[in-house]
Amino acid sequence: MTDTTILGAPVAAKKAHKGTYHGITVTDDYAWLRDPGYPEVKDKAILAHLNAENAWFENRMAGQQELIATLFTEMRGRIKEADTSVPQKDGDYLYWIEFEEGAEYKKWWRRPVAAKADGSEDQLILDEVALAGGKEYFRLGAISVSSNGRLLAYAVDDNGSERFTARVKDLATGELLPDEIPGTLSSLVWVAGDRGLVYSLANEQWRTDNARLHWLGQETSSDIELYHEDDDGFRVGSSLTANEQWLIIGTSDHETSEVRLIPAADPLAEPILVRPRAKGVEYDVDERDGLLYIHTNDTHENFRLATAPLGQPGEWTTLIEGSDAFYLTGFELFRDFYVIEGRRGGLDQIDVRYYDEPARIEPITFPEASYSAGLGDNPEWAVEKLRLSYESMVSPATVYDYHLADKRLEVLKVQEIPSGYDAALYTTERLEIPARDGTLIPVSVVMRKDRMPGGPLHLYGYGAYGIAIDPGFSTSRLSLIDRGFAYALAHIRGGDDLGRAWYKAGKLERRTNTFTDFVDVAKGLIERGFTAAGKISISGGSAGGELMGAVVNSDPQLWGAVAAHVPFVDVLATMLDETLPLTPGEWPEWGNPIEDKAAFELIRSYSPYDQVKRQAYPPILVTAGLNDPRVTYWEPAKWVAKLRELKVGDSELLLKTNMGAGHGGKSGRFESLRETAEEFAFVLWQLGVEG
């Protein structure tokens, strides 16, 4: 039973539940919040509890509705409502997307390259607004135009479960073909002269263990499995080489990969295995004129670029050596040149290189000392210019074309902020703050130039899966910055901001570095006069939500407000349950507590849910998604229940569960802004900052 009275916070019932692992008994009084019928959640007691938490959230946030409305209006005012992307040529057409005034979703357009830009030959190829009509949730997944330009394949999720239904539209007639593929979780790849689609189905555990071929016009029951993965920890994905001659079927977990190639014109041909998987070796592949290009970490953790003849795909010869100084994150082939991307000192680098002139290296340079830049959408094989994206913490998103002949950047579009934005009012810094073991942690900070020292500060972190946090631009965060906040990004270990070693230093047995780095960054910012203990708000989502849970357990006095979005906080129980969608694939990241007692003990020592204790906690706002397949809804629900039981004092503790959404929260560009406005209102309220 749950106390659903609005006079007090919901108190979840305690029901004894025990499990013994490696001779150690673990109790979990809130395990009942997991519906045994998941992914369907029908248990009335569970739904009543979640609804009671939502009612409590609404009750406690009622006094902040005016502030939420103000923040939402500000954030929406910074978004150009009627907006269009820069058209990009692909074959015989120019393609672009467009938002109409007030629209939550996009429309996808094209026109013939030779047509006038007067709208007379513009063709609406996909209308997300119409597809989302009447739905609480809508998300477009894969979208792919056939090579002849006649057919459009796309996939839609309308409940947040990330199980997409794929359809095919005839762009000449506007009609939907009868082909319908439910349950996909993948790209949609055209093969065999546009007669077939390659895709992957999500199995019962939400794992893509297959690559399948669908012949247009045939029943899906007759679809052919091109590849099946037997390792529960691996996921399968498909794509085409840049020249579209080969179908790439890749399978991987977080540390090992394996690639097969099949002629795109003959998808039933015998696959070519590039190199058998070897634990810890990652690689990805492209092809040009019978030569494979392989991006791999086999000889250096920061990756090298190698080549191999198609006839001897496993014989790799180094083209670009791995380097401690340069982290090679990826590459892209074009007909006459290739591009490598990476980071040097944590800063994005893009180099153009030439097949016939190995010594010719042309770095693309950008105007600021700290920024985020990368290749944009470049769908064609033969090009004379490259589409690039660029932004910094003070510079709005910019789209460039880089002209190779004269090494010139051409500005095509700068993000427009209708309500106004003056970059001269803001300043950004790149700091290095020592962690307790002496490692220097990069921190990116943005604030107004007229900000008073010692004021409130918002600190964001993630620190997992080798995902870097780029020092990019955000219009939403201006609502805090313009109210006197500094906004800081902690580039903590566990991400790959400074290379692969940086990632490895925050995973498995070194996982706790991520948490202590974040705390030490906060203390360093206090020591440097940016802020003070209790004036720091923090946020993170998913694995970043795990970070939030760990640091409120270890150092609750530092934080004035905490926002934990879809937080991965029940780490031990999730890693012990191999039936859950992601668990086997996550063991290389966190460890396998089923087989390894040391991993069990380590995870238990930091798992936020398991380490909740009787102490004062800062104000915490938690979000969840009922249909979330990544961080299941019961993790945040259990965590909040246990916090309510053990925390001392009357600090706010709120849980909001989106009952019709998944891992990403609500869909739509404005509805998602409303949730950010709620988070910021909570922060301002708890820190006592005027709205």
Instruction: Name the residues annotated as catalytic.
Output: 542, 628, 663
- Give the count of alpha carbons within 13 A of 597, CB side only: 6
In the chain, count H helices and then E strands. 12, 39
**Contacts of 38 by beta carbon, 8 Å cutoff, 6+ apart:** 632
On whether the CB atoms of residues 360 and 354 are closer than 8 A, the answer is: yes
Q: Find, among 548, 545, 550, 541, the residue nearest to 607 by Cα.
A: 550
DSSP percent split of the chain into helix, strand, coil, nearest 5: 20, 35, 45
Helix axes 512-527 and 543-554, enclosed angle (nearest 10): 60
Length in residues, the chain: 691
* DSSP per-residue letters across 204-231: TTS---EEEEEETTS-GGG-EEEEE---
On whether the CB atoms of residues 216 and 195 are closer than 8 A, the answer is: yes
* C-alpha to C-alpha distance for 553 and 569, rounded to whole angstroms: 11
Tokens of 166: 């794929």
* 462 φ, ψ (degrees, to nearest 5): -135, -80
Task: Compute CA distances 197 → 17, 166, 239, 471, whole Å.
Answer: 47, 10, 11, 38
SS3 466: coil
According to DSSP, residue 425 is labeled G
On whether the CB atoms of residues 571 and 608 are closer than 8 A, the answer is: yes
SS3 560: strand
On whether the CB atoms of residues 564 and 532 are closer than 8 A, the answer is: no
Query: Which helix (H) or strand (E) element contains residue 340?
Result: strand 338-344
E strand intervals along 51-185 = 83-84, 88-90, 93-99, 107-112, 123-127, 139-145, 151-157, 164-170, 176-184
* C-alpha to C-alpha distance for 607 and 257, rounded to whole angstroms: 28
* C-alpha to C-alpha distance for 23 and 465, rounded to whole angstroms: 30
* 93 φ, ψ (degrees, to nearest 5): -130, 155
Task: State the SS3 of 467-523.
Answer: CCCCCCCCCCCHHHHCCCCEEEEECCECECCCCHHHHHCCCHHHCHHHHHHHHHHHH
Q: Find, among 589, 604, 614, the residue nearest to 504 by Cα.
A: 589
* C-alpha to C-alpha distance for 235 and 592, rounded to whole angstroms: 18
Which alpha helices (DSSP H) does 30-64 contain, by range? 44-61
| Letter string b/e over residues 123-151, b meaning 16 or more CB atoms within 10 A of that residue's CB | eebbebeeebeeeebbbbbbbbbbbebeb
Task: Compute CA distances 114 → 117, 125, 381, 460, 664, whole Å.
Answer: 9, 18, 19, 47, 40
Q: Find, among 474, 554, 568, the residue nearest to 513 by Cα.
A: 554
- What is the bridge-based pairing of β-strands 123-127 and 283-288? unpaired
* C-alpha to C-alpha distance for 130 and 126, rounded to whole angstroms: 9
